[in-house]
C-alpha cells in the first residue's frame, strides 16, 4: 500500500483521499490523531497478558506511522515506556531473532566482513542524514549478557526515548549494531540467530574495526552524535577513553548512569541530614556502570560547596565485586581491569572482606548502591542493618531488568521502617509507610532523565565533543527540577510525566556548559554571547535559548501536502 496510506491512514479527510486517489483504500471513517491513539491504547490494554505482544504491536506502529507512535508514547509515557524500553525490551532482545520480520524497525548492521567496505555499507542507509545514533555490539545487554545482534532492540528503544523525551526528529535517528559475533553458545546454536556465527574477536581486532566504523561515520555525517551502549565493561571504558576527545560521542552506561544517579544522590544528601564529608558509600558491583557512577559522585564531592580534594573524596568510596571489596592487596589485584583500579582500597592492611554483609559491617555505609545484576542481593539482613546504621539510609538498587534488581521498594520500606531514601533502576509501585500510612513513591534513577536532554543539547549546540562538564551540569540541573509538590513529598526525581518539559531545561544547561567549555559551534548559540553582560542580561539570553530549544523539539502531528 502507498507509504502515505500507512503513515496517516484514517486521518485523511475525504478531500485528501480524493486528491491522492486513496478513496476505497482506507476505511470510510475520518479520524483524528487523538482517536487513533485511543484505539492503540485499547489494543495495548487487550494485550496486557503478553508484554512481548504489546512490544511487537508498538514496533509495528513505530515502523508504519512515527507520528502516531510518538503521539501515543508522549501522551502516555509512564505506561508505554515500560513496553518499548525496560523491562520489556530485555525480553524482546532475547527473542529478537525469533520475532524479527522484514517490517521490523530499521537499523544498520555493520559486520566484521564489511570492514573494507564500510563507506559503501553506511551509504546504504535510506533515511535522512541522522543527528544521533545509538550503537551497541550486543556484548552486555542490560543484565542479560552477550546477545550478539539480538541486542538491536536496545538502540531502537533508546532512540524512541531520544525522540519522545528529548525532542529529536525520529527521521534523524539511527540505530546501529556492530556484528562482532557472540560468545553465547545458545545463540551460536540457534538456527534462527540473525548474526554472524563466530566467537568475538581479540581486542586488537575489535578496536581496529570500531576505529574504522567511527572514522566512516564521521566521513559520512560529520555532525553525528554517537552514543555507545551496552558494550562489555572493559570495552565501554576503552572506547570512551579512545574516542571522547576525537569524536562527538559519549557512553550512556558510564556517563549517563553516573549523571542520573548523581542527580538523585544530590537530593538524597539533602534529605539525609548527614554532612557531605561524613558519608561513606558502598558500591555493590564494580563494572562499567558502577565505576561510572562512583566517578560522577566523586566529581560532585570535589565540586560541591565545602567540597573535598579528590584524594579526600576517594576515601569515602568502597567497591565490591564478586570476590569482595576491591583492594590493592587482594590475590587477584594484578589482574584487575583498568576501570577497577580507579577505586581500589589501599588501607585494608591485608584484610579480606568477601560478603556484602561483612562489607557493611566493615564500612558502615550511609549509602548502598547496587549495580551488580544480582537479584535480591539486598536481602532482609542487609536492609535491616542499613536501617540500624542510619536514620535515613540511602539505598539505590539500580540493576535492570526487574529480576536483576538488588531489592524491591516494598522490602526496602519494610526493613527500614519506611526511613529509606530509595531510587531504583526499574519501576516499582508505591508502598504504604508502616507508621504514618502515607503512600510513599519510589524514585527511579532512569537514564532517560539524562541522555535525551544531554544528547539534544549537545546536538543543537553542534558541540565538537561531549565534555565531563556538560555531563555534570546536566546532572546538577536535573537535581534542581523538583516542583513544590515533589519536594514536599521527598521525591529524589521529578515525575516521569514531566520529562519533556524538564528535558528542555536540561538541554539549555548542557548548551551553557558547552559554551563555557568553548566546544559549541552553532551560530545561534555562539551569537547569543551567553556568558557576557549583567545577571539580568544573561537570564534573558538563557530564556531566549530555552525558547529556541523548545522551537526545535519535534512534536508529532499530521501535516498533509495536497
> Is residue 85 flagged as an active site residue?
yes
Whether residue 365 contacts residue 386, with contact meaning beta carbons closer than 8 Å, is answered with yes
Residue 562 reports pLDDT greater than 50: no
End-to-end CA gap in the chain: 18
CA angle 549/551/554 to nearest 5° reads: 95
What is the grid cell recorded at 230? Answer: 551496552
**Given this model, what pLDDT does residue 4 score?**
47
For position 5, what pLDDT does the model report?
A: 47
Between strands 394-397 and 439-440, the pairing is unpaired
DSSP H stretches of helix in 347-396: 356-363, 380-389
Work out the average pLDDT over 169-194: 97
Query: Which pairing describes strands 394-397 and 421-424: parallel, antiparallel, or unpaired?
Result: parallel
CA dihedral for 396, 398, 404, 408, sign (positive or negative): positive
User: Does 290 have pLDDT greater than 80?
Assistant: yes
Query: Is the pLDDT at 449 greater than 80, yes or no?
Result: yes
Catalytic residue among 71, 158, 172, 462: 158
| Range name among 158-172, 300-314, 489-503, 515-529 with the lowest pLDDT average | 300-314
DSSP letter at 508 equals H
- What are the residues whose beta carbons fall under 8 Å from the beta carbon of 49, sequence distance 6 or more? none
Under the banding of pLDDT at 50, 70 and 90, the label for residue 348 is: confident
Predicted confidence at residue 510, as pLDDT, reads 99
Give the C-alpha separation, 169 to 174, whole Å. Answer: 11
Model confidence at 333: pLDDT above 90: no
pLDDT at 6: 54
Instruction: Please compute Rg for the chain using Cα positions.
Output: 24
- pLDDT at residue 105, as a whole number: 65
Contact 375, 408 (CB under 8 A): no
Binding residues: 140, 229-230, 253, 400, 446
Residue 22's nearest CA partner among 35, 34, 7, 32 is 7
Each as own residue / partner, the long-range contacts of residues 463-467 (CB below 8 Å, 24 or more positions apart, any chain) are 463/248, 463/514, 463/519, 463/520, 463/521, 464/248, 464/519, 464/521, 465/244, 465/245, 465/247, 465/248, 465/249, 465/519, 466/225, 466/244, 466/248, 466/249, 466/250, 466/255, 467/513, 467/514, 467/517, 467/519
- Residue set of the binding site for a divalent metal cation: 229-230, 253
Instruction: Specify the DSSP class assigned to residue 106.
Output: P
User: Hey, what domains does the chain have and what are their CATH numbers?
Assistant: 1-84 (1.20.1370.30), 104-247 (3.40.50.10380), 448-552 (no CATH)
Strand locations in 352-474, DSSP E? 367-370, 394-397, 421-424, 431-432, 439-440, 443-444
Mean pLDDT of 161-174: 98
The pLDDT value recorded for residue 227 is 99
Look up 314 and say whether it is catalytic: no
Residue from 55, 70, 85, 243 carrying the catalytic annotation: 85
| The pLDDT value given to residue 317 | 97
Average pLDDT, the chain: 94
Q: Where does residue 228 rank: exposed (0-12), middle (13-18), buried (19+ CB within 10 A)?
A: buried
Angle at 556 (CA atoms; ends 555, 557), nearest 5 degrees: 115
Omega of the bond leading into 87 within 30 degrees of 0 (cis) = yes
Annotated binding site for (S)-malate: 140, 400, 446
Report CA torsion sign: 171, 89, 373, 198. Answer: negative
Question: CA 248 to CA 214: how far, in whole Å?
Answer: 10
The tens digit of pLDDT for each residue in 367-405 reads 999 999 899 999 999 999 999 999 999 999 999 778 889
The 10s digit of each residue's pLDDT in 35-82 is 999 999 999 999 999 999 999 999 999 998 999 999 999 999 989 999
Q: What is the DSSP string of 199-262?
A: PPPPHHHHHHHHHHHHHHHHHH-TT-EEEE-S--HHHHHHHHHHHTTTSSEEEIIIIIHHHHHH
Angle at CA of residue 137, ends 131 and 142, nearest 5°: 95
- Position of cell 524512541? 160
CB 464 within 8 A of CB 488: no
Amino acid at each position: 500500500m502507498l507509504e502515505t496510506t500507512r503513515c496517516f491512514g484514517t486521518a485523511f479527510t475525504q478531500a485528501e483521499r480524493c486528491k491522492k486517489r486513496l478513496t476505497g483504500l482506507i476505511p470510510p471513517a475520518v479520524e483524528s490523531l487523538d482517536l487513533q491513539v485511543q484505539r492503540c491504547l485499547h489494543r495495548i490494554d487487550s494485550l496486557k497478558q503478553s508484554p512481548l505482544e504489546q512490544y511487537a504491536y508498538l514496533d509495528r506502529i513505530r515502523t508504519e506511522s512515527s507520528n502516531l507512535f510518538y503521539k501515543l508514547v508522549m501522551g502516555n509515557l509512564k505506561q508505554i515506556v515500560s513496553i518499548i524500553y525496560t523491562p520489556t525490551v530485555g525480553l524482546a532482545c532475547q527473542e529478537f531473532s525469533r520475532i524479527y520480520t522484514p517490517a521490523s524497525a530499521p537499523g544498520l548492521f555493520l559486520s566484521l566482513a564489511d570492514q573494507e567496505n564500510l563507506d559503501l555499507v553506511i551509504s546504504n542507509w535510506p533515511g535522512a542524514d541522522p543527528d544521533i545514533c545509538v550503537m551497541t555490539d550486543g556484548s552486555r545487554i542490560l543484565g542479560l549478557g552477550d546477545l550478539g545482534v539480538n541486542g538491536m532492540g536496545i538502540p531502537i528503544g533508546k532512540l524512541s526515548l531520544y525522540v519522545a523525551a528529548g525532542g529529536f526528529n525520529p527521521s534523524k535517528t539511527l540505530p546501529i549494531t556492530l556484528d562482532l559475533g557472540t560468545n553465547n553458545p545458545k545463540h551460536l546454536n540457534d538456527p534462527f540467530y540473525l548474526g554472524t556465527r563466530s566467537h568475538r574477536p581479540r581486542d586488537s581486532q575489535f578496536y581496529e574495526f570500531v576505529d574504522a566504523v567511527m572514522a566512516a561515520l564521521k566521513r559520512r555525517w560529520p555532525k553525528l552524535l554517537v552514543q555507545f551502549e551496552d558494550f562489555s565493561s572493559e570495552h565501554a571504558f576503552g572506547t570512551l577513553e579512545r574516542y571522547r576527545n576525537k569524536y562527538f560521542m559519549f557512553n550512556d552506561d558510564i556517563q549517563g548512569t553516573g549523571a542520573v544517579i548523581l542527580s538523585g544522590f544530590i537530593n538524597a544528601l539533602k534529605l539525609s541530614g548527614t554532612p557531605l564529608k561524613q558519608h561513606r558509600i558502598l558500591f555493590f558491583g564494580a563494572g562499567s556502570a558502577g565505576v561510572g557512577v562512583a566517578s560522577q559522585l566523586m566529581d560532585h564531592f570535589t565540586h560541591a560547596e565545602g567540597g573535598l580534594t579528590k584524594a579526600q573524596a576517594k576515601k569515602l568510596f568502597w567497591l565490591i565485586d564478586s570476590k569482595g571489596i576491591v583492594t590493592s592487596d587482594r590475590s587477584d589485584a594484578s589482574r584487575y581491569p583498568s576501570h577497577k583500579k580507579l577505586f581500589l582500597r589501599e588501607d585494608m592492611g591485608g584484610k579480606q572482606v568477601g560478603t556484602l554483609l561483612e562489607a557493611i559491617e566493615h564500612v558502615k555505609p550511609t549509602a548502598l548502591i547496587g549495580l551488580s545484576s544480582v537479584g535480591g542481593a539486598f536481602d532482609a539482613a542487609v536492609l535491616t542493618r542499613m536501617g540500624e546504621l542510619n536514620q535515613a539510609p540511602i539505598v539505590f538498587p539500580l540493576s535492570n531488568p526487574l529480576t536483576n534488581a538488588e531489592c524491591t521498594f516494598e522490602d526496602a520500606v519494610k526493613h527500614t521502617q519506611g526511613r529509606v531514601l530509595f531510587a531504583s533502576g526499574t519501576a516499582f509501585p508505591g508502598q504504604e509507610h508502616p507508621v504514618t500510612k502515607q503512600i510513599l513513591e519510589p524514585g527511579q534513577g532512569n537514564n532517560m532523565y539524562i541522555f535525551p536532554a544531554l544528547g539534544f543539547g549537545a546536538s543543537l549546540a553542534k558541540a565538537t565533543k561531549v565534555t565531563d562538564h556538560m555531563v555534570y551540569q546536566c546532572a546538577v540541573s536535573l537535581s534542581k527540577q523538583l516542583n513544590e509538590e515533589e519536594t514536599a513529598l521527598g521525591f529524589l526525581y521529578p515525575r516521569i510525566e514531566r520529562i519533556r518539559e524538564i528535558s528542555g531545561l536540561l538541554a539549555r544547561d548542557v548548551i551553557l556548559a558547552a559554551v563555557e567549555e568553548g566546544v559549541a559551534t552553532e551560530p545561534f548559540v555562539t551569537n547569543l554571547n551567553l556568558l557576557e553582560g549583567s545577571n539580568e542580561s544573561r537570564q534573558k539570553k538563557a530564556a531566549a535559548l530555552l525558547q529556541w530549544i523548545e522551537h526545535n523539539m519535534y512534536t508529532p502531528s499530521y501535516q498533509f501536502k495536497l
